[in-house]
Structure formats: C-alpha cells, structure tokens
A and B are shown apart, each in its own frame.
Chain A
C-alpha cells in the first residue's frame, strides 16, 4: 500500500461530528466512559476505512453507520462472554441504561424524565428515535446506516413513540411547567 493511497478525512468535519458521535454513543451505551470508548473505536475504524467514504457525501451519516456496526459487534462479543458467566441477570436489564447526565445540566424535571424513559427503550428503538427525532436524518438514511428496511425504521419509531407516550400518560397535564426545586 502506498503512502498516498488514501486521502485523509477532513479534519473540521470530523471534529464537528465528535459531539454528535458522543451523544449517539451515550444513547447507545448509556455510559459516559463506554460511550467515549465507542467514539474512539469509531474514529479509528473510520480512519482505517476512509477509502470507503465517498468524499463530499455526508460524513456524519457515514460515521453513524460505522458506530452502529462497531457497537453491535462489541455487544455481540460481550453477550457471548456474559452467557458463560451468568444467566440470572434481570432480563431486560442488559438493554436499559442509567441516565448519564451531568449534575446540574437540567433545570427542568421533565427533561430528566424524558431521558430516563428513552433509557428504558430497547437499544434498537433508542437508536432510531435519536437519529430521526434528534439528528433529523431521513428515514432512508437511517435505514442505510443501520442496514435495515425503511419499514423497520418506521415500526421501531412508532413503538418508541408509543412507549414514551404511555410513560407520560399518567403524568399530570401541566408537568411541562415543573421545575427542579433548588
């Protein structure tokens, strides 16, 4: 392989994508440190595979794709190890995550609750919800990134929304105005 074979990835775009990658990773892993490990692995992988990135196309969407793949590979490996250790885990527990927010980040209770509810969604629904609702990717882009049919994107999104809605159904209507008591 010659030294000039692969052009470097554009630094500004790559740096600009890092905060979004960290957010996606945190939503996937539910843990700030593991999230940054995942981002680091993703960046390393992106450099290795940079030949596959079509210059001029959306770098962010491509990085999301890589992160998704790195994440499911790592999770598959972890699962295999886990099965040999213990089976008496709490069932759903491996999917749900703890709320990874920093102290003092929110002044509004309902936002904390919303993040908690997102954390209780299965990882595949969490991921689609983040990419559609927060990153505002087109459903077709999400389907490409996750290598699933568009119909599956839609059904996961519907299920995620239905769960968030039912989670809030028993909250009082005025809860949007709640504030953290200082």
Chain B
C-alpha cells in the first residue's frame, strides 16, 4: 500500500521537528527519492537555525525599567512614586526566586546602568544561564552529530575548535551552538552529568591581543566561571558547581587542549 503523498505541511512539520511519527517514514522516503525534497528540508532547517542565530541575541538585551514595573502588576504600578526604586527590587526578588534566568536580565540592566562593563566572564555566565535552562533547545547541534558540530563551529569561528571529552569527570557532551558575541562569534559546548547539572565551555577568538592569562575564577549570580586565554583564544567554563569541582573540570579541559595544541605543532 502506498502511503499518502507527502505534502508541504508534512515537510514543514518535519523540518520543525513536529511531524507525527506515522508520517516520518513517508517524508524520509520522499527525501531519499527526490534530492529537491531533501534540499527543501535542509533549507528550511537552515532558515530556522539562521533565524535563531539572528534573533536570540535580542533576548540578552537589558530590560527597560518600565517593563519591569509593568510586570510587577497594577498594585506596584499604582505607586508611581516608588516605581523608580521598585524596579531593582523586582529584579532582585526575581533573582532570589529563580537564581539565574529571569532575574539575570534585570540584574544586567542594573549593572549596565551603573556603568559596569560587560565582560566576557559575565557574558559567558549569562549565556550559560540562558541556554542551560532551556529545556527545548539548549544546543543547536546535538552530541550524536559531534563531528558536524565541530566542523560547523570551526568554520564559523575561523579556527579549529574541539569539544573536550569530560566523561572522566562524569560530564557527557550534550551538543553545541554558535553564540553571537559582541565582537566575535563564540562557540558553546554544553555538557551534562547524571544529576542533570550542566556545564558549558565557551570559546572565542580574543578580539585584541590580551596575552596569556592564568586561570581566573569569578561567580556571576550563582554561576561559577573559570576563564583563561590561550593562543589568542578566550575560554570560559561555566556551571552551577562549586569552585573545586569546576576547577577539576577546567584542568581537564586545559590539559586536553594543550595536548591537542602540542600534537598540531609537531
């Protein structure tokens, strides 16, 4: 019996990952038979990925005070005179409630207003918080496609990047994504352990020659970040782990990258 012909609706749903299971084979057969169909699907997926790359950076923009006030509800908004100092309180309350995530944006807003520069460390912690908490799509390309992930990221960053193997620390690769940095794009690799704790390693080309920097450690809103520079690349390892745990992982990452570097330069 022939399956129902594949429709535009099937192809859209397939590309968006929401096609009902009973239709998947029909679509995959059609893709195998007809290169034009396969190309259509690949193109739709590329569009989706491009749109997310283009529009995700908007999510990290600081939230205006008036919107924080509006979110606090009419009771708070009615107190017009207290609104100015209320907004940071709302932000703080949110930070306390959810730790990272929602409150983060508000906090960053306060910091920027206070003139605190946004550093790579803070950016890394923010990006980690944003994606580690994302249930649907923490990464763009998942671990089973590690080879494609590494090739893609290396191409986009303009230099070879690698996903270190952290299995010895109990962390398996979840996948990775490209993050729009302020000056240079950043590669992000995400890892997860059996307790569902997530770590991310972010790598980008250092915009200016920053020289060598030994391991530096900072805590940004509960997210620990190890940060170092090596061969004109900045690395940031972020996670909700304590310093010792994070440092242990950081050493492994550093060691693997150094070994790789030595192998290449031979």
A interface with B by C-beta (< 8 Å): 8-9, 11-16, 18-20, 22-23, 26-27, 36, 39-40, 43-44, 47-48, 102, 104-108, 110-112, 114-115, 118, 129-130, 132-134, 136, 138-139, 151, 154, 157-158, 161, 164-165, 177
Contact = CB atoms under 8 A, between A and B. Distances in A.
Interface string B69-85: 01111100100000000
Contact of B67 (A16, A36, A108, A177): A36
Residue of A11, A15, A111, A114 most packed against chain B (CB within 10 A): A15
Contacts of B61: 19, 22, 102
The 10 nearest A-B residue pairs measured at CB? A16-B102, A15-B102, A43-B70, A111-B54, A19-B59, A12-B98, A133-B48, A154-B9, A15-B94, A40-B70
Interface of B: 8-9, 12-13, 16-18, 43-44, 47-48, 50-61, 63-64, 66-68, 70-74, 77, 90-91, 93-94, 97-98, 101-103, 105-106, 136-137, 155-156, 180-185
B74 A44 contact: yes
12 contacts: A11-B72, A12-B94, A18-B71, A19-B105, A36-B64, A40-B66, A114-B50, A130-B51, A133-B52, A134-B52, A139-B16, A151-B9
A19 B52 contact: no
A26 B58 contact: yes
B67 A39 contact: yes
Contacts of B9: 151, 154, 158
A161 B98 CA distance: 37
B55 A106 contact: no
Nearest to B45: A133
B67 A133 contact: no
B16 A115 contact: no
Given A19-B58, A19-B105, A164-B47, A138 B18 contact: yes
A158 B8 CA distance: 7
B118 to A, nearest CB: 12
B8 A154 contact: yes
B67 A40 contact: yes
B67 A110 contact: no
A165 B94 CA distance: 41
Contact of B137 (A13, A22, A136): A136
B64 A11 contact: no
A115 B103 contact: no
